[in-house]
Amino acid sequence: MEGIEPTVQIAALEALLTGRALEENLQETLGLTIAERDRGELVVVRLTDTLQAALAHASDDELAVAVDRWAQTEEFWGQGDPAILRPQVRELAEIAMTAAPSAS
């Protein structure tokens, strides 16, 4: 997700979607980096299982509320733009739904 820091900002989104503490989410994200380039300028990070499940099961309304709150967090210096973040999170949720194990 362009312009989104993959550990702290994503951990804050996870906290809003799951109710888990930010610190707990940050601890879980340690070691989830899959690839890195240009001294960390480009990073691929795997989502935690908890965040993947939350994204896969959240309704559009739940995602919109979480993104609106997320945009105002200190991780975005209170200046995040929900209009930019919503489609990015929606796309991430679609990927999470595709990757989620199907219920049998």
- Residue 59 has what pLDDT? 97
Percent pLDDT > 90 in the chain is 65
Q: Please state the separation of Cα 97 from the chain's center in Å.
A: 14
pTM above 0.85, yes or no: yes
Higher pLDDT, 5 or 85: 85
Residue 47: partners with Cβ closer than 8 Å, 6 or more residues away: 10, 32, 55, 92, 96
